[in-house]
Amino acid sequence: MDVQFVDELAANGRTPLHAALPWVKISASAALLAASIAASTPVAAGAAAVAVVVFASASLGQLRYTVTMALYPVFFASIFALGSVQRSPLFALTIVVKAFSAGLVASTLITTTPFVDIFAGVSRAMPAIVSDALFMGYRSFFILINELQNLLRAVRLRGGAGRGLAQQLRTYGQVLGVVILHSADMTERMYRVMIVRGYSQRIESAREWPPPRTFDYLLIAYAGAVLALILTLK
Protein backbone atom coordinates (compact mmCIF):
# COMPACT_ATOMS: atom_id res chain seq x y z
CA MET A 1 0.00 0.00 0.00
CA ASP A 2 1.86 3.05 -1.28
CA VAL A 3 -0.07 5.92 0.30
CA GLN A 4 2.27 8.51 -1.20
CA PHE A 5 1.68 7.23 -4.72
CA VAL A 6 -2.08 7.09 -4.14
CA ASP A 7 -2.00 10.70 -2.96
CA GLU A 8 0.08 11.69 -6.00
CA LEU A 9 -2.42 10.03 -8.37
CA ALA A 10 -5.39 11.66 -6.67
CA ALA A 11 -3.88 15.14 -6.59
CA ASN A 12 -2.21 15.29 -9.99
CA GLY A 13 -4.23 12.97 -12.24
CA ARG A 14 -5.98 14.38 -15.30
CA THR A 15 -8.81 12.02 -16.18
CA PRO A 16 -12.60 12.46 -16.52
CA LEU A 17 -13.04 11.02 -13.03
CA HIS A 18 -10.58 13.52 -11.56
CA ALA A 19 -12.62 16.31 -13.12
CA ALA A 20 -15.88 15.08 -11.58
CA LEU A 21 -17.10 16.74 -8.40
CA PRO A 22 -15.96 15.02 -5.19
CA TRP A 23 -19.46 14.70 -3.72
CA VAL A 24 -20.62 13.16 -7.00
CA LYS A 25 -17.78 10.60 -6.90
CA ILE A 26 -18.43 9.82 -3.24
CA SER A 27 -22.17 9.35 -3.89
CA ALA A 28 -21.57 7.25 -7.01
CA SER A 29 -18.99 5.15 -5.17
CA ALA A 30 -21.39 4.62 -2.27
CA ALA A 31 -24.06 3.39 -4.68
CA LEU A 32 -21.64 1.08 -6.50
CA LEU A 33 -20.29 -0.22 -3.19
CA ALA A 34 -23.84 -0.92 -2.04
CA ALA A 35 -24.49 -2.74 -5.34
CA SER A 36 -21.32 -4.82 -4.91
CA ILE A 37 -22.30 -5.78 -1.38
CA ALA A 38 -25.97 -6.41 -2.18
CA ALA A 39 -25.12 -8.82 -5.03
CA SER A 40 -25.95 -12.20 -3.51
CA THR A 41 -25.83 -14.46 -6.57
CA PRO A 42 -22.93 -15.16 -8.93
CA VAL A 43 -24.78 -13.45 -11.80
CA ALA A 44 -25.49 -10.33 -9.75
CA ALA A 45 -21.91 -10.24 -8.43
CA GLY A 46 -20.58 -10.60 -11.99
CA ALA A 47 -22.87 -7.82 -13.25
CA ALA A 48 -21.78 -5.53 -10.40
CA ALA A 49 -18.12 -6.30 -11.13
CA VAL A 50 -18.52 -5.42 -14.83
CA ALA A 51 -20.32 -2.20 -13.89
CA VAL A 52 -17.56 -1.24 -11.45
CA VAL A 53 -14.83 -1.97 -14.03
CA VAL A 54 -16.67 0.33 -16.49
CA PHE A 55 -16.77 3.03 -13.77
CA ALA A 56 -13.08 2.53 -12.97
CA SER A 57 -12.19 2.66 -16.69
CA ALA A 58 -12.97 6.37 -16.61
CA SER A 59 -9.72 6.74 -14.66
CA LEU A 60 -7.95 5.69 -17.91
CA GLY A 61 -4.26 4.85 -17.38
CA GLN A 62 -4.68 4.47 -13.63
CA LEU A 63 -6.92 1.43 -14.05
CA ARG A 64 -3.98 -0.96 -13.87
CA TYR A 65 -2.91 0.38 -10.48
CA THR A 66 -6.44 0.47 -9.07
CA VAL A 67 -7.01 -3.14 -10.15
CA THR A 68 -3.76 -4.11 -8.43
CA MET A 69 -4.99 -2.40 -5.25
CA ALA A 70 -8.31 -4.24 -5.52
CA LEU A 71 -6.46 -7.57 -5.58
CA TYR A 72 -5.50 -7.06 -1.93
CA PRO A 73 -9.04 -7.64 -0.60
CA VAL A 74 -9.36 -10.46 -3.13
CA PHE A 75 -6.52 -12.27 -1.37
CA PHE A 76 -8.31 -12.11 1.98
CA ALA A 77 -11.66 -12.96 0.43
CA SER A 78 -9.95 -16.05 -1.01
CA ILE A 79 -9.06 -17.18 2.51
CA PHE A 80 -12.74 -16.97 3.41
CA ALA A 81 -13.75 -18.64 0.19
CA LEU A 82 -11.22 -21.43 0.72
CA GLY A 83 -13.37 -23.01 3.41
CA SER A 84 -16.40 -23.31 1.14
CA VAL A 85 -14.85 -23.90 -2.26
CA GLN A 86 -15.42 -27.67 -2.24
CA ARG A 87 -18.96 -27.48 -0.92
CA SER A 88 -20.10 -24.59 -3.10
CA PRO A 89 -17.65 -23.20 -5.65
CA LEU A 90 -20.20 -20.64 -6.84
CA PHE A 91 -20.55 -19.18 -3.35
CA ALA A 92 -16.76 -19.00 -3.06
CA LEU A 93 -16.58 -17.27 -6.45
CA THR A 94 -19.31 -14.81 -5.44
CA ILE A 95 -17.41 -13.79 -2.30
CA VAL A 96 -14.19 -13.23 -4.25
CA VAL A 97 -15.91 -11.25 -7.03
CA LYS A 98 -17.76 -9.08 -4.49
CA ALA A 99 -14.52 -8.32 -2.68
CA PHE A 100 -12.89 -7.35 -5.98
CA SER A 101 -15.76 -5.01 -6.93
CA ALA A 102 -15.85 -3.33 -3.53
CA GLY A 103 -12.05 -2.98 -3.49
CA LEU A 104 -12.04 -1.50 -7.00
CA VAL A 105 -14.69 1.07 -6.04
CA ALA A 106 -12.63 2.19 -3.02
CA SER A 107 -9.34 2.26 -4.91
CA THR A 108 -10.87 4.19 -7.82
CA LEU A 109 -12.35 6.78 -5.47
CA ILE A 110 -9.14 7.41 -3.55
CA THR A 111 -6.90 7.53 -6.64
CA THR A 112 -9.14 10.10 -8.35
CA THR A 113 -10.16 12.27 -5.37
CA PRO A 114 -7.74 14.10 -3.04
CA PHE A 115 -8.05 12.91 0.53
CA VAL A 116 -8.86 16.41 1.75
CA ASP A 117 -12.03 16.34 -0.35
CA ILE A 118 -13.00 12.87 0.84
CA PHE A 119 -12.34 13.78 4.46
CA ALA A 120 -14.36 16.99 4.09
CA GLY A 121 -17.35 14.85 3.17
CA VAL A 122 -16.73 12.08 5.70
CA SER A 123 -15.88 14.39 8.60
CA ARG A 124 -19.26 16.13 8.55
CA ALA A 125 -20.74 13.05 10.16
CA MET A 126 -18.07 12.86 12.87
CA PRO A 127 -17.18 14.54 16.14
CA ALA A 128 -14.73 17.46 15.77
CA ILE A 129 -11.85 15.71 17.56
CA VAL A 130 -12.08 12.68 15.27
CA SER A 131 -12.38 14.65 12.04
CA ASP A 132 -9.53 16.98 13.00
CA ALA A 133 -7.35 14.01 13.93
CA LEU A 134 -8.23 12.47 10.56
CA PHE A 135 -6.99 15.53 8.66
CA MET A 136 -3.88 16.03 10.76
CA GLY A 137 -3.05 12.35 11.01
CA TYR A 138 -3.04 11.99 7.25
CA ARG A 139 -0.82 15.06 6.92
CA SER A 140 1.53 13.78 9.64
CA PHE A 141 1.86 10.46 7.85
CA PHE A 142 3.71 12.05 4.94
CA ILE A 143 6.12 13.88 7.24
CA LEU A 144 6.89 10.69 9.15
CA ILE A 145 7.27 8.47 6.09
CA ASN A 146 9.85 10.86 4.64
CA GLU A 147 11.77 10.68 7.88
CA LEU A 148 11.51 6.90 8.00
CA GLN A 149 12.81 6.62 4.44
CA ASN A 150 15.78 8.84 5.29
CA LEU A 151 16.58 6.73 8.36
CA LEU A 152 16.32 3.48 6.40
CA ARG A 153 18.65 4.93 3.76
CA ALA A 154 21.12 5.84 6.52
CA VAL A 155 20.94 2.28 7.90
CA ARG A 156 21.65 0.82 4.47
CA LEU A 157 24.57 3.21 3.91
CA ARG A 158 26.08 2.15 7.22
CA GLY A 159 26.13 -1.50 6.30
CA GLY A 160 22.54 -2.66 6.58
CA ALA A 161 20.20 -3.80 9.32
CA GLY A 162 22.31 -6.77 10.38
CA ARG A 163 22.52 -10.47 9.70
CA GLY A 164 19.54 -12.70 10.28
CA LEU A 165 15.87 -11.84 10.39
CA ALA A 166 15.73 -11.33 14.17
CA GLN A 167 18.59 -8.81 14.13
CA GLN A 168 17.06 -7.00 11.15
CA LEU A 169 13.67 -6.79 12.87
CA ARG A 170 15.31 -5.37 16.02
CA THR A 171 17.13 -2.77 13.93
CA TYR A 172 13.90 -1.82 12.16
CA GLY A 173 12.25 -1.65 15.57
CA GLN A 174 14.89 0.84 16.71
CA VAL A 175 14.44 2.84 13.52
CA LEU A 176 10.70 2.94 14.20
CA GLY A 177 11.59 3.98 17.75
CA VAL A 178 13.49 7.00 16.42
CA VAL A 179 10.51 7.92 14.24
CA ILE A 180 8.19 7.61 17.24
CA LEU A 181 10.44 9.85 19.33
CA HIS A 182 10.36 12.42 16.56
CA SER A 183 6.59 12.00 16.30
CA ALA A 184 6.38 12.99 19.98
CA ASP A 185 8.30 16.18 19.17
CA MET A 186 6.01 16.70 16.18
CA THR A 187 2.98 16.37 18.47
CA GLU A 188 4.35 19.15 20.64
CA ARG A 189 5.04 21.39 17.62
CA MET A 190 1.59 20.68 16.23
CA TYR A 191 0.03 21.55 19.57
CA ARG A 192 1.84 24.88 19.73
CA VAL A 193 0.89 25.75 16.15
CA MET A 194 -2.76 24.95 16.91
CA ILE A 195 -2.70 27.18 20.00
CA VAL A 196 -1.00 30.02 18.13
CA ARG A 197 -3.57 29.81 15.35
CA GLY A 198 -6.42 29.96 17.83
CA TYR A 199 -7.68 26.40 17.54
CA SER A 200 -10.72 25.97 19.72
CA GLN A 201 -13.45 23.65 18.49
CA ARG A 202 -12.94 22.42 14.94
CA ILE A 203 -10.77 22.89 11.84
CA GLU A 204 -13.13 24.53 9.38
CA SER A 205 -13.19 23.58 5.71
CA ALA A 206 -14.96 26.18 3.60
CA ARG A 207 -14.44 24.92 0.10
CA GLU A 208 -17.07 25.76 -2.51
CA TRP A 209 -17.77 23.51 -5.47
CA PRO A 210 -18.82 24.56 -8.97
CA PRO A 211 -22.24 23.39 -10.24
CA PRO A 212 -22.40 19.80 -11.56
CA ARG A 213 -21.67 19.20 -15.24
CA THR A 214 -23.08 16.63 -17.68
CA PHE A 215 -20.49 14.00 -16.73
CA ASP A 216 -21.41 14.39 -13.05
CA TYR A 217 -25.09 13.77 -13.78
CA LEU A 218 -24.18 10.79 -15.96
CA LEU A 219 -22.03 9.33 -13.20
CA ILE A 220 -24.80 9.58 -10.60
CA ALA A 221 -27.38 8.18 -13.02
CA TYR A 222 -25.08 5.30 -13.95
CA ALA A 223 -24.35 4.35 -10.33
CA GLY A 224 -28.05 4.61 -9.42
CA ALA A 225 -29.03 2.42 -12.37
CA VAL A 226 -26.43 -0.22 -11.42
CA LEU A 227 -27.70 -0.30 -7.84
CA ALA A 228 -31.31 -0.61 -9.03
CA LEU A 229 -30.32 -3.44 -11.42
CA ILE A 230 -28.51 -5.39 -8.71
CA LEU A 231 -31.41 -4.97 -6.28
CA THR A 232 -33.73 -6.25 -9.02
CA LEU A 233 -31.50 -9.29 -9.64
CA LYS A 234 -31.54 -9.98 -5.90
Distance CA 149, CA 176 (A): 11
Q: By C-beta, is 43 or 225 nearer to another protein?
A: 43
Q: In angstroms, give the least distance from the CB of 92 to another protein.
A: 7
176 binds another protein, rule: CB under 8 A: yes
Contact positions with another protein (CB under 8 A) in 193-232? 194-195, 199-201
Contact positions with another protein (CB under 8 A) in 42-81? 69-70, 72-74, 76-77, 79-80
Q: By C-beta, is 95 or 220 nearer to another protein?
A: 95
Q: In angstroms, give the least distance from the CB of 137 to another protein.
A: 4
Q: By C-beta, is 191 or 217 nearer to another protein?
A: 191
| Stretch binding another protein (CB under 8 A), from 11-19, 34-42, 50-58, 216-224 | 34-42
Q: In angstroms, give the least distance from the CB of 16 to another protein.
A: 21
| Stretch binding another protein (CB under 8 A), from 55-63, 177-185, 212-220, 226-234 | 177-185
In angstroms, the Cα distances linking 58 to 53, 112, 223 are 9, 10, 13
Spatial contact of 8 and 111, defined as CB atoms under 8 Å apart: no
Contacting another protein (CB under 8 A), which of 11, 129, 228, 231? 129
220-30-72 Cα angle (round to 5): 125
Contacting another protein (CB under 8 A), which of 20, 28, 52, 106? 106
Residues 1-20 vs another protein: string with x where CB under 8 A?
Answer: xxx--x--------------
132 binds another protein, rule: CB under 8 A: yes
Burial letters 156-166, b for 16+ CB under 10 A, else e: eeeeebeeeee
Q: In angstroms, give the least distance from the CB of 172 to another protein.
A: 6
